Chain A
């Protein structure tokens, strides 16, 4: 049953990265859009993701619940040593979720809209940035449970080149996903071109920050190249991601939105496969060869079994409803009154 739980954990993380990520990305694109196009981007966003945006963020809750029920030691360790970046990420989640809803549901449209927009755009950047920092710090070996003092224990556990680079990479991936998604939602050729340009620059940002990730891995002694290229799965996944990226750019001109979206999703999944496979089942790598492993640090067997059952039962309800929601609003324009 532990495998069921691990599969759910990984899949929920992936779905959060894809769906939540595209959602963050829309805010990131708004942040980097010239002022006269900003409003068009925001209204497009509300229209297209309005009905599903709450659901996109539920995946994070599923991840957390799986962690604290199934892997309490991992949850406790991560939330102790990465308290600060988690806190900043939470602030981002609060600011973003509320600003998105408030700008839409404010009955009076006035100067407040500017405040909501500002909060929304900056928090759309900060949240995935710190999500990336957390992911980077979890595997970079910088968490030191024996650390004495505030800075060593709670600041340098996450503040270093590698995790910051992973943060930037996460941000650009989110922006890229959102641009790819929005290309499919456009109505005019001019709009389409605008998002293609966005996708291109986000793609460029991902390449640059990806380069930074490798560079900083070398500086911080994170054996990243070994993880990615030291095994067949890593090499295959990275190659598959690259191929799918090339095909995406070929197809964008032809405007096949479903295939492009699928390929972008596939590309991100392959990146997640490559970065998690090598050290699996170890998920937290701490200083001095200490680690936390999904196989060794899971909770009591009976708890894992009941968690797996709860997840299986949950998906019977959630998945069909979610598919129908996404399907319905792809066909019909959302209609509020």
Chain B
């Protein structure tokens, strides 16, 4: 493994790991706030017990996400000093604001986790909401920084010199809104499906039914609303990408030849030698229609770009197809869920629906990972789109493959620890959380 590939793999691994914890950290507080609110309003113990159980999960995820995030802020420099040297001042603003948001999140979490019965109950509830809101703001700011790499703005560039720097313009680059919106909805869908799935499974096993079905309902409402909204934001994002990063769009869609009346390809494995996509299903004219609103819209294919400027088409296309397919599955499950709710049927009796949710547990996070693969691989060979190549930014230190192995081992162990802890938390629900008077 050469150092450049190792550095990219290490970055990809660190981001792939961190994203799961950030999503949970920014979404779970809202679930908790809802359940906490119902407890304060109704004084029903089940809501308090759910809030308690969830807050332990959040603490585990927050601690892990906080360290993997700290690591990332160093890794930017450890792996890509050539990028940070120029990019730091330009896209540092969202990071410095994110520092504030993250700090507030940590403070609010301290109040929330350790403040039971110590403060005015609504102040205590509010600190939980602050955890969620500042987490969400952190997420938006970090995505804005990533969007800047896709859509550089706020500076002029000539012969390796970056001048006329405007950090505010850089932060509000053309891509920030569509990316941030897509990510926030994705975080709600992914976390919601994961949480709802676990509780659905416990209901199916007939364990602590009231506890788990109440928790399921809270998570499912968020998850399904997000999954139904997501295709709209996805469509918006794709059109945005077509405008700003046509090479990325071409790779996503497996489009080798530019033209009008371009078909939408579903599935398939792109073949860069024959410039075709075998095993795909074609919908004639559909891509042109989706991008420009009518079938005669011209869509740029990979043929418009020198080979050196093309992103890797195979993985980008497959990851994109996977993301869309998973989104469609979640969309369908969500429609079924709302149908059952609308018919006022009890979903405890509709066990098929609970089974669907249990099976869907990992789908949201798989889609998030696939989506980030599309964003990041689709931007290659650039680290800063059209300005700086990833290979020119990598650290001169040799032996990065060994640090990559080290990180792989560390992240695998952390993942195993987290799984063990969650398994134990869930197994201990009857003893620790689902107790009538709420006392342990």
**Which residues of A are in contact with B by a Cβ distance under 8 Å?**
50-52, 54-55, 57-58, 60-62, 64-66, 68-70, 72-73, 75-80, 83, 86-87, 90-91, 93-94, 97-98, 100-102, 104-108, 112, 150, 153-154, 299-300, 302-304, 306-307, 310-311, 313-314, 317-318, 321-322, 325, 328-329, 332, 334-337
Contacts and interface: CB of A to CB of B under 8 A. Distances in A.
Contacts of B82: 76
Contacts of A106: 421, 424
B52 interface: yes
B95 A69 contact: yes
A7 B11 CA distance: 32
B342 interface: no
A91 B410 contact: yes
A65 B414 contact: no
B118 A335 contact: yes
Interface residues of B, number: 77
Contact of A325 (B110, B398, B428): B110
A97 B68 CA distance: 10
Contact of A318 (B85, B104, B118): B104
Contacts, number: 234
Interface string B79-110: 00110111111101101111110111011111
Contacts of A50: 110, 113-114
Contacts of B74: 64, 79, 86, 90
B167 A98 contact: no
B396 A80 contact: yes
Contacts of B258: none
B395 A80 contact: yes
- 5 closest A-B pairs (Cβ-Cβ)? A69-B92, A299-B89, A79-B77, A101-B63, A303-B89
A336 B112 CA distance: 9
A325 B106 CA distance: 11
Chain A, interface SS category: helix
B218 interface: no
Looking at chain B's contact residues, is the secondary structure mostly helix, strand, loop, or mixed? helix
Interface stretch (B54-62, B209-217, B331-339, B345-353): B54-62
Interface of B: 48, 52, 56, 59-60, 62-64, 66-71, 73-74, 76-78, 81-82, 84-90, 92-93, 95-100, 102-104, 106-111, 113-119, 162-163, 165-168, 395-399, 403, 406, 410, 414, 417, 420-421, 424-425, 427-428, 432, 438, 440
Nearest to B99: A65
A335 B116 contact: yes
Contact of B92 (A55, A65, A101, A104): A65
A69 B59 contact: no
20 contacts: A52-B110, A55-B103, A55-B106, A57-B66, A61-B73, A65-B92, A68-B95, A79-B81, A80-B81, A80-B395, A83-B395, A91-B406, A100-B63, A153-B396, A299-B88, A302-B165, A303-B165, A307-B89, A318-B107, A321-B104
A107 B428 contact: yes
A94 B410 contact: yes
Contacts of B95: 65, 68-69
